[in-house]
Amino acid sequence: MSSARSAPIAPVFHNILEMIGNTPMLELKRMDAGPCQLFVKMESMNPGNSIKDRIAVTMVDAAEKSGKLKKGGRIVEATAGNTGLALALIAGQKGYRLTVVVPDKMSDEKISHLRAMGAEVVLTRSDVAKGNPEYYQDVAEKIAKDDPDAHYINQFANDANTQAHYETTGPEIWEQMDGKIDAFVVGVGSGGTVSGVGRFLKERNPSCEIILADPVGSILAPLVNEGKQVQPGSWLVEGIGEDFIPSILHLDLVTKAFAISDAEAFHTARELLKKEGVLAGSSVGTLLAATLHYCREQKEPKRVVTLICDNGAKYLSKMFNDFWMVDNGFIARPTYGDIRDLIARRHLEKEDFCLTPTIPVAQAIKRMRMFSISQMAVVDDKDRVVGILDESDVLMALVRDRDCANKPVLDFMTSRVETIRPTASVNDLVPIFRADRIAVVSDEKHFYGLITKIDLINYLRKQL
């Protein structure tokens, strides 16, 4: 295994935009790629942490050259996030204002990141399709139309998007692989990567296969594999999958498509991190899962390349968070077959955050804020619940007693708790919630955890 010291020394750059592109290629040796050799191009190592840095530079350059973007003007774009981050990087360096319209399924981290970089973020609905005035691309187009200083970048219909990949990503892959590449696996967001890299690789080697990785619910995989037009569904993977065909997309380059479920994508991205140490975004899970299917189907050894499109730090609170995976049904836990299955954070498995009666109120507030929770059980040294401290108890403590911070939670908690047994029915929860209380599930032996209104909502939602 080589060490960092054996890599060539990186040059000194004089502007962050010079660091875009020329990303490393990594061979993945620990994933089961059948008879194939599997390589990933680390687009997450661009300064904006995604492949979109490449197109943002090219599209802004093209807009400047065409005169559509004037000095100090406003860039508007509709994006799942990464293009927005890349544009924010460029806008910041070149002195443009930036407005980004994002569908409301995007991760909080992406939105906070955009705002921190100085972009104005407009959130819009993710449950409406193209043509609806609230669809993110239509919203962006309208914002740009209403402002004479604004230019709508529109990556979905912008030839400079494809050009960036034809001129940079494609040639880099070709050179890094020494011209020996049998297949390239890619997803479609705007279609720029598949169209640009695909065209370049096909020109160099017409037998190089371009394989599409598509989320289940997207309209592309059925179109490629069966020529079938289907109604779009929904998916959670961010950045790829389509409910319409972007004008720059050249699907004719694609030989075969794999439709990958959210569950498989998330588990594959988690496996990639555990086995290979690569922290990648959710769409990479889709790409890698499709790549592994392709590789394992092969009879001959092939050299297969896919992309690490973005960095996974933005998904730490989602697919890399076990609770998020459980809450969203992507990790199945052992079930009890009774009301204990409604408990979101199981006490016996040490998933919950409890307080001891003597802990100071200031400390309890700190934990509530740190873990974003509104209530905690107060347990004694025999692990029995002696009270509940929730937000209203804390609020009352702060209002009524100026010195409460250093006093024990015992003085302010609600001691009359609503205990129910594991054998209770879901209906038994209703009067408890109607009285604005929290259910404590316990029997003679154990305290199992709390059930709150949101837990019941989630349980009923999953039943639908």
Cα separation, 182 vs 172, in Å, equals 15
CA distance 109 to 324: 15
Q: Give which of 449, 253, 229 is closest to 345, Cα–Cα.
A: 449
Contact 218, 241 (CB under 8 A): yes
- Residue of the chain from 46, 49, 137, 193 that contacts ligand PLP (CB under 6 A): 193
Which residue's C-beta sits nearest to ligand PLP?
Answer: 239
The size of the interface with ligand PLP (CB under 6 A), counted in residues, is 20
Q: Which residues contact 379 (CB under 8 A, 6 or more apart)?
A: 354, 355, 356, 385, 386, 447
Question: What is the rounded distance in angstroms from the CA atom of residue 262 to the CA atom of residue 270?
Answer: 12
Q: Which of 44, 49, 283, 311 binds ligand PLP (CB under 6 A)?
A: 283
Output the smallest distance, CB 401 to ligand PLP, in A: 51
| Binding piece for ligand PLP, criterion CB under 6 A, among 282-290, 321-329, 340-348, 398-406 | 282-290
Q: Determine the interface stretch with ligand PLP among 87-95, 121-129, 277-285, 432-440 (rule: CB under 6 A).
A: 277-285
Q: Is the distance from CB of 405 to CB of 397 less than 8 angstroms?
A: no
DSSP 206-219: TT-EEEEEEEBTBS
Contact with ligand PLP (CB under 6 A) among 36, 102, 114, 186: 186
Catalytic one of 52, 202, 302, 314: 52
Comparison of 280 and 378: residue with beta carbon closer to ligand PLP: 280
Q: And the tokens for 40?
A: 């990933």
Determine if 307 is a binding residue for ligand PLP (CB under 6 A): yes
Q: Does 191 bind ligand PLP (CB under 6 A)?
A: yes
Regarding 48 and contact with ligand PLP (CB under 6 A), the answer is: no
192 is an interface residue for ligand PLP by CB under 6 A: yes
Closest among 18, 116, 79, 25 to 304, alpha carbons compared: 25
239 binds ligand PLP (CB under 6 A): yes
Whether the CA torsion 357, 361, 365, 367 is positive or negative: it is: negative
Can residue 310 be called a binding residue for ligand PLP (CB under 6 A)? yes
In this structure, the number of other CB atoms found within 10 A of the CB of residue 78 comes to 27
Which range binds ligand PLP by CB under 6 A, 61-69, 276-284, 334-342, 436-444?
276-284
* Residue linked to tokens 């996974």: 312
By the rule CB under 6 A, 187 interacts with ligand PLP? yes
Indicate whether 173 belongs to the interface with ligand PLP (CB under 6 A). Answer: no
How many angstroms separate the CA atoms of 305 and 210, rounded? 10
**Interface with ligand PLP includes 309 (CB under 6 A)?**
yes
Q: Which of 79, 99, 190, 452 binds ligand PLP (CB under 6 A)?
A: 190
Residue window 68-97: x/- pattern of binding to ligand PLP, with contact defined by CB under 6 A: --------------x---------------
52: annotated active-site residue = yes
Is 248 a binding residue for ligand PLP by CB under 6 A? The answer is: no
Instruction: Tell me the DSSP string of 149-194.
Output: TEEE--GGG-HHHHHHIIIIIHHHHHHHTTT--SEEEE--SSSHHH
Q: Which residues bind ligand PLP (CB under 6 A)?
A: 51, 82, 186-194, 239-240, 281, 283-284, 287, 307, 309-310
Q: Mind telling me the catalytic residues?
A: 52
